[in-house]
């Protein structure tokens, strides 16, 4: 009688141990999923706030024609902002500040 109770107790402990091991993985995966969802929501909120601020940040802004040729460029080089206009062949027509280059005398 005692051995039957001890055997049942041992079987019960083994079953509980197996069930606990099985339940660990889903709990860990669920926690990981919740963490990933929170991170995605946080990233989305940050993007939303940036979009709603009305500010676009970039180092260079190019204006192109229908054919894809750059016609103007506003950019930052070092500590200085530059504005350049280009002709249809891609040569600089006008630049502010002026580009330092030697111009032939006419």
Among candidates 80, 104, 82, 84, which has minimal Cα distance to 94?
84
CA distance 15 to 12: 5
Predicted TM-score (pTM) of the model is: 0.43
CA atoms within 13 A of residue 88's CA, in its CB half-sphere: 2
Q: What is the pLDDT of residues 1-39, one digit of tens each?
A: 567 777 778 888 888 888 887 778 888 889 999 999 999
- The domain limits of the chain are 1-55, 60-96
């Amino acid at each position: 009688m005692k051995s039957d109770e001890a055997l049942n107790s041992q079987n019960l402990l083994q079953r509980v141990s197996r069930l606990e091991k099985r339940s660990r993985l889903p709990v860990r995966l669920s926690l990981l999923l919740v963490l990933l969802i929170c991170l995605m929501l946080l990233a989305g909120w940050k993007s939303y706030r940036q979009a709603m601020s009305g500010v676009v940040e970039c180092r260079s802004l190019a204006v192109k024609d229908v054919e894809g040729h750059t016609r103007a460029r506003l950019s930052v080089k070092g500590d200085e902002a530059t504005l350049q206009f280009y002709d249809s062949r891609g040569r600089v027509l006008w630049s502010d500040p002026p580009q330092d280059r030697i111009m032939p005398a006419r």
